[in-house]
């Protein structure tokens, strides 16, 4: 991870106290594994907790530099398809929670998003948003910048739920559906 994309806090998606079930090593050689998502850049991470530490889904853990209370080390990033069923089930809820907590970041995206090429705009990368929606967003933000999710919903009638669109986009980015990354680093 480069310095600017380093995560400080991760949210536990799944805790496997006996490691992965497909790991063929003897039980005494297996280490507990945590699958987590970074709170700031939505990085999917595989983490090794310290001995005797038990973690629960949705628990926040410090993974930054310096002394870590619960985490021994970070193995690295993992692809979406490596997530366990439990982690995959938690992912949508955790991302939605993070999007709501980072409302200003998402509202800023709606206010500042620009064209990618002469035929494509960043706003069009959000699932369920086409050219008509994009032009409505652009016209509304020219009059006055958006202030909240509620403001976007009220002023842009064609976008029923900007939160759901952003959550779906983040999951597409984690799944490497296309080359453009808006939210995931």
pLDDT category at 22 given cuts 50, 70, 90 is confident
Read off the DSSP letter of residue 122. Answer: G
Mean pLDDT value across residues 145-158: 92
Cα distance between residue 134 and residue 12, in whole Å: 35
Q: What domain count does the chain have?
A: 2
Residues 79, 118, single domain; the answer is no
pLDDT tens for each residue of 34-54: 999 999 999 999 999 999 899
Cα distance between residue 53 and residue 55, in whole Å: 7
Q: Would you say residue 58 has pLDDT above 50?
A: yes
* Backbone Cα Rg of the chain: 19
Looking up residue 109, the CATH number of its domain turns out to be 1.10.150.280
Contacts with 5 (C-beta within 8 Å, 6 or more apart), sequence order: 41, 43, 185
pLDDT tens for each residue of 97-147: 999 999 999 999 999 999 999 999 999 999 988 899 999 999 999 999 999
Looking up residue 61, the CATH number of its domain turns out to be 2.40.50.140
pLDDT in the model for residue 28: 75
Mean pLDDT value across residues 5-27: 87
Mean pLDDT value across residues 61-87: 92
Residues 62, 123, single domain; the answer is no
Cα distance between residue 49 and residue 51, in whole Å: 7
164 domain residue, yes or no: yes
pLDDT in the model for residue 3: 44
Give percent above pLDDT 70 in the chain. 97
Residues 54, 119, single domain; the answer is no
pLDDT in the model for residue 76: 93
Residues 113, 50, single domain; the answer is no
Give the number of residues written for the chain: 185
Residue 32 token pair: 């507990």
CB 61 within 8 A of CB 36: yes
């Amino acid at each position: 991870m480069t310095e600017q994309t380093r995560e400080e806090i991760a949210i536990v998606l799944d805790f496997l106290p006996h490691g992965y079930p497909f790991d063929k090593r003897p039980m005494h050689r297996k280490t507990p594994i945590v699958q987590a998502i970074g709170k700031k850049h939505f990085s999917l991470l595989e983490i090794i907790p310290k001995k005797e530490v038990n973690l629960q889904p949705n628990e926040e853990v410090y993974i930054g530099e310096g002394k870590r209370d619960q985490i021994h080390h970070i193995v690295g990033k993992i692809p979406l398809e490596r997530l366990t069923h439990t982690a995959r089930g938690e992912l949508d809820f955790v991302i939605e929670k993070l999007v709501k907590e980072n409302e200003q970041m998402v509202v800023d995206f709606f206010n500042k998003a620009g064209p990618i090429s002469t035929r494509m705009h960043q706003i069009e990368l959000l699932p369920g948003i086409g050219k008509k929606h994009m032009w409505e967003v652009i016209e509304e933000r020219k009059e006055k910048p958006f202030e909240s999710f509620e403001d976007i919903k009220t002023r842009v009638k064609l976008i029923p739920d900007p939160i759901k669109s952003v959550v779906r986009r983040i999951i597409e980015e984690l799944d490497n559906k296309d080359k453009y990354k808006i939210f995931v680093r």
